[in-house]
Structure 1
Amino acid sequence: MTNLYLVRHAHSTYSADELNRPLSERGKEDARKVTEILKNESISVLISSPYKRAIQTIEGLAGIYGVDTVIEEDFKERILSEEPVDDFDSAIAKVWEDYSFSWEGGESNILAQNRGVRALEKVLERYEGKNIGIGTHGNIMVLIMNFLDKRFDFTFWKQLDMPDIYKLSFDNRRLIEVKRIWDRG
């Protein structure tokens, strides 16, 4: 059995610098809750998007488990567009309505999903039989989950918390269970 703990990053302080945007004070507090929730899950591998907010959300686990965080570029958030969009809600709805559509300089759902699934398959192959914590982002996380099970869609994405944690259990490479384990408490 391989268990992936997909962790959507905690709240961050907005800046245009996607790579280095840090967690907000609230996000840091929630990251401590993520650590508390996952501290007894026997995680032996930590992987993260290269984005600072994703790394910071799971970094407390590195000390508990005594492992380094492996950076996986393909778990970074989907690129919605090259330039900031005027209306984020309608822009994100459009790419979910048409999986092949992309805004200028952005990734379509198909492209982003393929990237995320490549990373997922690499993890499942490399770390079979292990418990793996993955720091990532809401859109790419749900696109990966959607590839595995279509019920994880735009409506599901809109209901995610920040942070949020989903445990995906695999037998060989076949998904057998998805369980939400985040509890804001």
Structure 2
Amino acid sequence: MLTNLYFVRHAHSIYTPDELQRPLSKQGLTDAEKVTQLLENENIEYVISSPYKRAIQTVEGTVKLIGKELIIENAFRERKLSEKPVEDFYFAISKVWADPAFSWEGGESNIIAQERGVRATLQILNEYEGKNIVMGTHGNIMVLIMNYFNKKYGFSFWKELEMPDIYKLTFDQTKLKEVHRMWRRT
């Protein structure tokens, strides 16, 4: 029995220092509607999301479409890069990908963030076997989860992601069988 996880990286957001409440931008809201349209014919049965507003806003159209409550999963929040804002984001993110055990002060290493995301993913695969589930999440944690199942999904892959982006991962129990990108910017 195959399970499909539709990982949805949130749409473009307006930068604020409040990670939890950062909302989608005007373009992000428009793209969130397109996400709903793309997922409309996928027989989605559950929607699980990071608690961050931008992730929720990106998948809430699908929640309304299926008529079920949104399930919040804290483990799908974005990886915490550092306690304080970093001066050079690209350098900071490159360093944690180059050394999976490294973390900036107050931040999560790739290993720690990946363990968090994978544990929740395996639990969902167990609990919702045979279902189609949308997962509202963030770029880094999404790629770390995908990387656990297939090492080809790494830093280079992350750099190519769009906002939003959608990847359908098909599993046979906990074995990844196929990955299909659904998002194409038009």
Give 2:40's aligned amino acid.
Answer: K
Deviation of the 1:113 alpha carbon: 0.3
SS at structure 1 position matched to 2:145? helix
Partner residue in 2 for 1:147: 148
SS at structure 2 position matched to 1:178? strand
SS at structure 2 position matched to 1:26? helix
Partner residue in 1 for 2:71: 70
SS at structure 1 position matched to 2:4? strand
Partner residue in 2 for 1:125: 126
SS at structure 1 position matched to 2:48? strand
1:70-109 correspondence runs (5 A): 70-109=71-110
1:29-40 correspondence runs (5 A): 29-40=30-41
Give 1:38's aligned amino acid.
Answer: L
Deviation of the 1:169 alpha carbon: 0.1
Distance in 2 between residues matched to 1:27 and 1:48, nearest whole Å: 17
Distance in 2 between residues matched to 1:143 and 1:129, nearest whole Å: 23
Distance in 2 between residues matched to 1:58 and 1:67, nearest whole Å: 12
Give 1:152's aligned amino acid.
Answer: Y
Give 2:89's aligned amino acid.
Answer: F
Unpaired runs of 5+ residues, structure 1, are none
Distance in 2 between residues matched to 1:83 and 1:164, nearest whole Å: 27
Deviation of the 1:166 alpha carbon: 0.1
Distance in 2 between residues matched to 1:6 and 1:172, nearest whole Å: 17
Distance in 2 between residues matched to 1:102 and 1:64, nearest whole Å: 40
SS at structure 1 position matched to 2:7? strand
Distance in 2 between residues matched to 1:108 and 1:116, nearest whole Å: 12
Partner residue in 1 for 2:19: 18
Deviation of the 1:45 alpha carbon: 0.5
Give 2:16's aligned amino acid.
Answer: S
Deviation of the 1:183 alpha carbon: 1.5
SS at structure 1 position matched to 2:103? coil
Partner residue in 1 for 2:181: 180
Deviation of the 1:139 alpha carbon: 0.1
The TM-score with structure 1 as length reference comes to 0.99
Give 2:150's aligned amino acid.
Answer: D
Deviations 1:141-167 (A, max 9, x none): 000000000000000000000000000
Partner residue in 2 for 1:162: 163
Unpaired runs of 5+ residues, structure 2, are none
The TM-score with structure 2 as length reference comes to 0.99
Give 1:54's aligned amino acid.
Answer: A
Deviation of the 1:51 alpha carbon: 0.1
Deviation of the 1:57 alpha carbon: 0.1
Distance in 1 between residues matched to 2:87 and 2:152, nearest whole Å: 29
Deviation of the 1:91 alpha carbon: 0.2
Identity level (%): 63
**Aligned length in residues:** 185
Compute the RMSD of aligned alpha carbons. Answer: 0.5
Distance in 1 between residues matched to 2:56 and 2:158, nearest whole Å: 21
1:19-58 correspondence runs (5 A): 19-58=20-59
